[in-house]
Structure 1
Amino acid sequence: MTDTQETEEQSSAKELHLGWALVLISVAQLMVVLDASIANIALPFIGNDLNIDDANLTWIVTGYALAFGGLLLLGGRLGDLYGRRRVFMIGLAVFAVASFVGGFAQNEAMLLSSRGLQGLGAALASPAALALITTTFPAGPARNRAFAVYAAMSGAGAAVGLILGGWLTGLDPILGLEGWRLTFLINVPIGLTAAFLAPRFLHESESHPGELDVPGAITGTFGLLGLVYGFSRAGEEAHGWGDTWTIASLAAGVALLAAFAFIESRVAHPLLPVRVFANRTRATSFLVMALVPAAMFAMFYFLSLFIQLVVGYSPLHTGFAFLPFSVGIVFGAGLSSTLINRIDPRFIAGTGTLMAAAALFGFSRLEVPTSTEALLAIGNGSFLGDGVNYWTSIFPFIMLMSVGMGAVFVPLTLTAVHHLRAEDSGIGSGVLNTMQQVGGALGLAILGTVSLHYADGTKTALARDLVAQGVPADAAGGLAFIGSFTEGATAAFLVGAVLISIGSAAIWLFLNVKHEELATDGPEGGAPVHVG
């Protein structure tokens, strides 16, 4: 065998190794992201089977988001200190076990506990997954492609969750298991297989045991929990911003995070080193990655309700209505990973945010008739959105939004972790994920408040008119809600467009890293180093 042939075989084997590493990381990321939405469609079925009332039913979603968002910083730092592959495997195993418990849950307490445990597993696995890309793939085209796949999985996860949740929930019982249980159990073989294969394809990072900042971990974790819970509660119609527990939770969250900042400035080995934010480009990336999901998650929420309540799609049909989003974000991520080798990230991410803002503005122009005659016709099987054409009024903006998101996530994920010290890549990934989770919770709270504000006046007037025509008060309230929903949703879309426009302005003004710099490793100002 010639030296050239041997070199080619080694190169081919290395590429195959990296390919399988990326498959493992991507599958794990897709699993933890889609689990935030996969149970949404199953909620009514879960409530009926386990006798969970509507007020507690929302905790199936909120409990996961709380644990996931609140523990991300800690999960990222644990990967830095005790080995990212080890923490990644533990996170996947915890997630799989929790999914098994949730799939066989016999009561409310058992299910809600499993969701919190799933959030813990996700908080351990997700930042470790992103950090493993940074330390496994060499800087340049290989890492850019890997980040493109990671970003596509992160962005497409919510849409895939809606489709998968709708399909599984609609299945007839299999081996005596209702369809909603399969939305949890499907994670078990995936998570355990990925954890089992991780040592074969992923290198372990250095560990630094004994350096865990316990006071910082406690104040930072509970501070984030307070913020995420407060924002989530503020976004619920039953509570809102004036609710005592909303205010108390937000105040406690802010106070604990202030204590966290004080502690971090004085300990030798902080949970969140200040140097992570010292780079202007990195700080801008974190900010924008909070604003963009704030608008994107709200888009999924309001548009999915609009498609079901107003246009009249079934849950599964609604899930498939979002399928183009998954296709578009994969295309946008792939395109941006190619362009990033030749074009500065500012231009790619800036253009992507402008596309997303234009898409949300397009959604804000949706209109349906809200006359009492149109509302009364709902009782005869019609829908207010019967005249809304999916292919002309919704599909173009879903595609514009998704391609734009792909163009945002790849360059900003790269710039958010670029030039971080090797020992900080886990916490950097944790900060990025935390910004997305907190931004999403804040976005839903703000845009939910905007929606309620604009819908309430219309809802009251419509209900009054319907009662005057002899419709019972309860039925009139339900019809008036459907009639007023579009006005509230379109106002939320418009504010979402403003949020993304603010993020776009930040990118154009402050994201100043050059594309040539993304092909180098190592901390800023240091010699380029390839890790792993």
Structure 2
Amino acid sequence: MGAHERSTWESIAIIGTCTLSMMLTIASSSAASISLPTIGRDLDIVEYNLQWIVSAFNLSSGCLLLLMGRLADLYGRKHVFLLGVAFIGIFSLGAGFSQDEITLDVLRGIQGIGGAAVIPASLGILAHSFPPSRTRSIAFATFAAGAPMGGAIGNIIGGALTQLTKPTWRSSFFLIAGLSLAAFVGGLFSIDKDVAYEGIDRRVDWFGAFLVTAGLVFICFALSDGPIAPKEFKTGYIIALLVLGFVLLIVFLVWQGYLERLHEDADDTHNWWTPPPLMKVTVWTRSNWRMAVILWIAFFEWSSFQAWQFWAQLYYQNYLNLSPVLTMIRFIPMSVTGCICNIIVAIFVGRVPVVYLIVLGTTATACAGLLYAVIDTSSPYWAFGFPSSVISVFGADFVFASGTLFVAKISLLHEQSLTGALFQTMTQLGTSFGLAITTIIFNSTLKKESEKLGVAVNLSGTNAPPAAQLKAYRAAMWGAFAFGMFGALLAALFLRSVGIVGHSDEDERMLKEDEETSRDEKEKGVAEVDDAGSERTRAPRLSEDSKRGEKQTEQRVEE
């Protein structure tokens, strides 16, 4: 069924199902995060190991994105989507019954594979289901709204379930399992049957997949474990993993460049060991390198946003000694504003140059960190905490919605999930990087300020004087502020000529004309193939149509 033949209710079902998958992925992380103190007490987990309950999920979901995106493009986005939500649900149920730290960490790591599958598959499904139009803008904005809604489910409902139900933290995992079942049923019946792109070489670059996955795992593990290692980032195995991770990523890029050149220059026959690249290196150069700029802006925005959220939660629970429910209440404005932000994107992304949305958003997220960096603890929540929660999500929502729209606009039909996975990978790396750097800032400041007060802090820092803790929290928030402002600077310098990435009424008219022309060309092409009695000419024709569509969309972005 073509997008133009789909009813309004069918469109709503697809958008709703994909949005629910985004909510699941975010809620799986945020619900566990707000329950960490309770999980630690229940399972007797030391404080510095608690982070792995969250990090295990983020590690697998972030490092497998490129592979899962490629598999979704090649073998079916619907299949990968259903597999992903099944993984999230089944292993969330298992996590809810965990009785020890190791079991919970392992199950969370496996659960993250579902997150790696769901997000790129959803982006590809939306891009395929809705051609460039106002409906696509609404679909991507709604999908992005799943992030704050997922955060609300994790923080608000998860916090309430943890404090008010008998199973405490286990109830949050049971809730995620139930929502996963709903997403699976919705995907089964609402998402269109997968389209097989003819003329596409479906071999998977497993060597490249190993290189990029191993490299990302080593880097993310080192960034996550570095702050709690015996000598922090000076620890031998942390340095070794970082170096090895970066070496593997460099080898991956060289290998991908070699495969890309080989498939551009060679004949139709290739050796078994030279499949198409997992990721074309030239994808970063799309639209005069603006693709790379968008990806790095996503990196720094998530460095800022996730660092702000992490340290704000710890500030409330560890410094002010608030309960999970009282902490959760202070983040309610963030979820409400997140939904409003995506409504704004849906309305204005087809009318306002994207540079304004991204600069405004990244600056707002940076200022959320600034408010905590200068916070006066004697002031009420409404003076610093409330406005910070309100503006914190501007950047994440504006960058995600408009960024994924831009990426989809300059990507070929058969690589929509892969490029969506690349965008999401940069956000995951940004999260790890931001938390690692701000943790270094926090720990060094805490140690320095405690020594000034004559206190030698222990490994967990729990005996640090309150004055030293406050200065450490403020210092970490200055780091979050810097990341956000750097993203705003990149947007202001390099995205000024991008223009509007959404679609206006004029674009809708041009789209209809393009569809009519394309339909006539395809009908003529099929007739020629039938007359010749050969199927070999069909695949190249479809490939050329995709390339022509890419060229047209890049020209529109330039305009």
Structure 1 residue identity aligned to 2:550? E
1:155 CA drift (Å): 4.2
2: CA distance between counterparts of 1:161 and 1:363?
23
d(CA) in 2 for partners of 1:106, 1:436: 32
Residue in structure 2 matched with residue 416 of structure 1 by the alignment: 407
Q: CA deviation at 1:156?
A: 4.7
Distance 2:5 2:305 in 1: 39
| Distance in 1 of aligned mates of 2:146 and 2:250 | 34
Q: TM-score, normalised by structure 1?
A: 0.86
Aligned-residue offset at 1:256: 1.0
**Mapped partners of 2:337, 2:10: distance in 1:** 28
Distance 1:157 1:238, change over 3 A: farther
Is the 1:42–1:166 Cα contact (8 Å) retained in structure 2? yes
Aligned residue in 1 for 2:375: 366
Q: Give the 3 Å change call, closer, same or farther, for CA 137–452 of structure 1 in structure 2.
A: same
Residue 492 of structure 2: aligned partner: 508
Which residue is 1:277 aligned to?
A: 284
Quick one: distance in 2 between partners of 1:69 and 1:57?
A: 19
Structure 1 residues 322 and 237: alpha-carbon distance in aligned structure 2, compared to 1, 3 A threshold: farther
Instruction: Tell me the secondary structure at the aligned position of residue 374 of structure 2.
Output: coil
Instruction: Say if 1:240 and 1:441 are closer, same or farther in 2 by CA, change over 3 A.
Output: same
Q: C-alpha root-mean-square deviation of aligned residues, in Å?
A: 2.6
From 205, 221, 240, the counterpart of 1:213: 205
Alignment of 1:90-169 (within 5 A): 90-169=83-162
Which letter maps to 2:258?
Answer: R
Equivalent of residue 332 in structure 1, options 331, 341, 366 = 341
Matched, 1:252 2:244: yes
Q: CA–CA distance in 2 between the matches of 1:76 and 1:189? A: 25
- What is the alpha-carbon distance in structure 2 between the residues aligned to residue 56 and residue 415 of structure 1? 39
CA–CA distance in structure 2, aligned partners of residues 284 and 23 of structure 1: 30
* Cα pair 2:34 2:324 within 8 Å, conserved: yes
Aligned letter for 1:462? L
Displacement of 1:11 in angstroms is: 8.3
What TM-score do the two structures reach when normalised by structure 2?
A: 0.82
| CA deviations over 1:326-385 (Å, ceiling 9, x no partner) | 111111121122111111111111122222223322221113xxxxxxxxxxxxxxxxx4
Q: How does 1:9-88 map to 2 (within 5 A)?
A: 14-88=7-81
Kindly indicate whether residue 437 of structure 2 is the aligned counterpart of residue 446 of structure 1: yes
| Match of residue 460 from structure 1 | 451
* 1:419 Cα offset (Å): 1.5
Partner Cα distance (1:76, 1:228) in 2? 19
- How many residue pairs get aligned? The number is 490
Verify: 1:315 aligned to 2:317, yes or no. Answer: no
Alpha-carbon distance in structure 2 between the residues aligned to 1:246 and 1:364: 29
Supply the distance in 1 between the matched residues of 2:398 and 2:250 (Cα, whole angstroms). 34
Distance 1:429 1:487 in 2: 39
Residues 1:263 and 2:255 are matched in the alignment: yes
8 Å CA contact 1:131–1:429 kept in 2: the answer is yes
Q: Would you say the 8 A contact 1:341–1:515 is kept in 2?
A: yes
Distance 1:411 1:255, change over 3 A: same
CA-to-aligned-CA distance 1:13-65 (integer Å, 9 cap, x gap): 61111111111101111111121121123234333444444454332112111
**AA paired with 2:328?**
G
Q: Is residue 191 of structure 2 the alignment partner of residue 202 of structure 1? A: yes
8 Å CA contact 1:311–1:388 kept in 2: the answer is no
SS class of match (2:33): coil
Of the candidates 306, 315, 320, which is equivalent to residue 315 of structure 2?
A: 306
Kept in 2: contact 1:332–1:405 (CA 8 A): no
**1:180 equivalent in alignment to 2:169:** yes
Q: Which digits, 9 at most, give the CA deviation of each residue in 1:202-252, with x for residues without a partner?
A: 122336574210100111111111111111122337552112221121111
C-alpha contact (below 8 Å) 2:409/2:553 kept by paired residues: no
Give the whole-Å Cα distance in 2 for the aligned partners of 1:26 and 1:395. Answer: 27
Match for residue 486 of structure 1?
Answer: 470
Change (3 A) 1:235 1:145: farther
1:478-523 CA distances to partner (integer Å, 9 max, x unpaired)?
Answer: 4534321221221222222222111111112212322167566864
**CA separation of 1:254/1:518 partners in 2, compared to 1, >3 Å: closer, same or farther?**
farther
Secondary structure of residue in 1 paired with 2:493:
helix
* 2:223 paired with 1:231: yes
2:351 aligned partner? 342
- Give me the whole-angstrom Cα distance separating, in 2, the residues matched to 1:492 and 1:107: 32
Do structure 1's residue 430 and structure 2's residue 414 form an aligned pair?
A: no
Question: Which amino acid is the alignment partner of residue 274 of structure 1?
Answer: V
Q: Distance in 2 between matches of 1:71 and 1:350?
A: 30
1-structure distance, mates of 2:151, 2:176: 15
Q: Cα distance 1:318–1:31, how it changes in 2: closer, same or farther (>3 A)?
A: same
**1:266 aligned partner, one-letter code:** Y
Q: Give the corresponding residue for 2:270.
A: none
The Cα offsets for residues 298-326 of structure 1, whole Å up to 9 and x where unpaired, read as 10111111122333421111011001001
- Residue 498 of structure 2 corresponds to residue 498 of structure 1: no
Q: Cα distance 1:237–1:159, how it changes in 2: closer, same or farther (>3 A)?
A: farther
Structure 1: gaps of 5 or more residues: 1-9, 368-384, 468-472
Deviations 1:168-210 (A, max 9, x none): 111332xxxx221112111222212222231321122336574
Bigger mean CA deviation after superposition, 267-276 or 253-262: 267-276
Distance 1:518 1:505 in 2: 26
1:516–1:56 CA distance, 2 compared to 1 (3 A): closer
